[in-house]
Every structure is written in structure tokens, then in C-alpha cells.
Amino acid sequence: MDPARLPSQLWQSIRIAYTDEWWLLPGLVAVAIAYPIWVGATGVAVLAIGNFVGLSLSLSPWTGQTTALAGVLAVFWVVGPAAVGTHLVVQRLRNPSDNLRTCYRLEHPLFLFSLPAIVLVVGLGLLAASGSIVGQALVVLGAVFIAIRGAAYAHRVFALSLPLLAEAILFLTLAGGGIALLAAGAIGAGRKPVVADSAVGIADLLGVPALAGYADGVVGLGGVELSTIAATVAIPALLPTVAYVALQTAVSLVQRLRKPDVKRSSLRTGQRYPIFAHPTAGGARTGGSPDTSPVSGSADEADATPDDSAEPTADADAAAAGGDRTGGTPTPPAPGAAGGGGQEAGAGAAAAAGDEEVDDVGHTRVYSPPKDADEIEMADPDEAARRAGDGKYCPSCDEFFEGETRTFCSTCGARLEEP
């Protein structure tokens, strides 16, 4: 890890918030308007149907009919909105090709949590200083933000990459947000006894006595007291995400030590490419041209970067002029065994030439350099500079970087070599 690149990674993580996550604030405003309308409309409809068929709607005492009614309302008010919200957020994290958006493809995915962590720490600080409602709100916002960035993180990392698990954490967070909004809205509307009676009934139903004091309870978090309503959102977001990141980091260290073989086709677009699997020529550069046919399931692997705990490389998509690539792009051939590099292009061409006749003019499976290749290469100013030792070249895609000190190719992710 290059310490000089850490500030740029931090800034890139912060910049995402206002360049690509602009939808978050309007989305919160839309939820604040649409959710109460939805709750009111469905609540009136369900209560009207219940009265029509003669169901008992009593909260005290809690009856079996009340349980059935609570289950229906839970689907309408908690599960359904959380599922819709999770789907909309995940769609915002991916491009039209269902791949991770370019902005989230940081060289060090842990930096995706930097801005949410700052919001969370500021909220905890305000809670510790004054216990203000602003601190509670910032803790909730930071927790939701962490769950959102966690879904992008799980898609980006290589080892133990489980996007579905991160999306499940996001669903639980939004479900907790629905419960918190219901309770806070009812208390704000002067219906606190309804919240208290509902909490007692659900506590008895689930066998969790601690839920009986939900309306006035507090929970310790980070050395401060957080209201139970705010904790309903913060705890489902923070605890599972922290546990997943810790486990993922440990697994990535093991992967880095083991250095297993990794095929490009086994990776999702936008996922980090482990440093030990970067394609190399395995020796001196040859006149052959590497295979550039697309690999199935890996339409955009040119942005590959090293393993989760390895040294950083330049991400091709981050260096691109802008936008997400949705179509297929040529990729280098998949690497060989973990301890060695890819097969040299020249050797492959020589072996194939022995099996079939090569036409220098027509389209053939094997590239054969023209007889005057040396003169052509010497006429290339990049080649002249390359032979002069002024820069580095990529043995995979044969691109030359004049005067560069980078370690990996920004086009295909292969390790650069000295001329």
C-alpha cells in the first residue's frame, strides 16, 4: 500500500457523495413524504376491512386476531417498503449492465466507508457531548450510509465477496428504519400509548421482555446512550457490516498468502483482480501479439486491481474519461498457475504455426509479424523511447508508458516491466 495515494483515495470516497450519490438526499425527502401517505392509506384500508369482517383490533389485551392484523401491517409498512428501498438502492449502485458503477471501484475498497464513518463519529460525539436529537439523527444517517456503501464494498472486493449478504444487511437496516419511522411518527402525532401497547404485545408474542419499553428505552452504543428507536436502524446496519468486513479482511490475508489460481471469467465486472493473478509475459518481450478475445462473464475486466490487502494499482475505469462501460471490451488471456505468468505470445505463435499454415495477409488465428517488423518498431517513437529505457511497458497489451513510475498497467492491470 502506497501511503502517498491514501489522501487521493479518501478524497475520491468523499467526492462520490456529491457527484454520484446526489440521489440520496432527494430520496430521503421522497421517503419522508411518501411513507406517511402510504402508511395512512393502507392503515385506513386495513382497519376498514377489519371492522367490516368483525375482527378484534384491540391492543390491550393482545389477541390472536391482533397478531394477524399486526402481521398484515408489518408486510405493508415494514417488509414491503424495505424490499422496494433495497432494490432501488442496489440499482443506483450498478450500471445498466448490472455491474458495479465506476465511481465505487476504488483501489482500496475500505475507503468507501470513510465518509459514512465520519458522519457516524460526529453523531456519536454530539450524543456524548449533549445527547441532542441532531446526534441521534447523524448516527442513524451514518449507519444507513454504511449499509449502502457496504453493498458496493461487497461487490468490489475479491476475497469473500458476498453482495447478496450485504444487500440483506441493507434490507434489515431499511426494515429497522421503517419501524423507527412508524414509532417516531406515532409519538410525534401524540399516539405514544399506541406505541407502548404495541411494544408490550409484540414483546409478549416474541418472548422478549426488553421490547416492552421500546417507546422510552435507550441502548448503549460506542459509550453513549442511543434511543431504542434510533438503535432499531443503527444496530442492524453497524454490527453485521463490521463483522462482515472483519471476516472479509481476514480471508483476504489468507488468500494473499495462498495465492490460488484465479480465472478472469470467475470474477464479476468491477471486482478487484488479485495481484498474484495479474497476467505477465513471463520473460522477455516478443514480437507476438497477445490474445485479446473477450472472456465470457468478464466484459469489463480491464479495470482489475490487486487483492484486498495488496499493493494498489491504477483502475482503468477510474482513469477513464467518464461514465460506465456497458459493452464488452477486450481482455488479456487468463493467467496460468499461481506461481508463474501467462504464456509468452511468441511461443504460442510458434507452436500454432507448426500445426497450420499461416497467411500473412488473410485473417488467421495466429498473428505473424511482417518481415520488416524490426524496421517498423524502430520507426515507432514509443519503441525508440522504450529501448532507450525511458519508461515502462506492458507485456500483456504492449502499451508503453513513457516516464511513468506506476507498477501496473491502467488498461489491463498487468504488471509493468522495465525495457
Residue 177: Cβ within 10 Å count: 25
If phi > 0 it is left, if psi is from -120 to 50 it is alpha, else beta; for residue 202 that is alpha
pLDDT at 87: 96
344: which 3 cell numbers?
Answer: 509468452
Query: Which parts of the chain sit beneath pLDDT 70?
Result: 1-4, 277-390, 393, 395-398, 400-406, 410-414, 419
pTM over 0.85: no
Output the DSSP codes for 105-174. Answer: --SSGGGGGHHHHHHHHHHHHHHHHH--HHHHHHHHHHHHHHHHHHHHHHHH-STT--HHHHHHHHHHHH
Tell me the β-bridge partners of 45.
none
pLDDT at 248: 94
pLDDT at 410: 66
Decide: helix, strand or coil at residue 295.
coil
Q: How many residues does the chain have?
A: 419
How far is 379 from 386, CA to CA, in rounded Å? 12
Rounded to the nearest integer, the mean pLDDT of the chain is 75
pLDDT at 168: 97
H/E stretch holding 223 reads none
Helices vs strands, H then E, count in the chain: 13, 4
Residue 187 burial class via C-beta count within 10 angstroms: exposed 0-12, middle 13-18, buried 19 and up: middle
Q: b/e map of 266-305 (b: 16 or more CB within 10 Å)?
A: ebbbbbbbbbbbbbbbeeebbebebbeebbeebbbbbbbb
- How far from chain centre, in Å, is Cα 187? 36
pLDDT at 171: 97
For the stretch 189-236, pLDDT in tens is 888 888 988 898 898 888 888 888 888 888 887 778 889 999 999 999
pLDDT at 56: 72
For the stretch 336-387, pLDDT in tens is 433 333 333 343 443 434 443 444 444 444 545 554 444 444 444 555 555 5
Answer whether 104's CB lies under 8 Å from 111's CB. no
Answer whether 71's CB lies under 8 Å from 63's CB. no
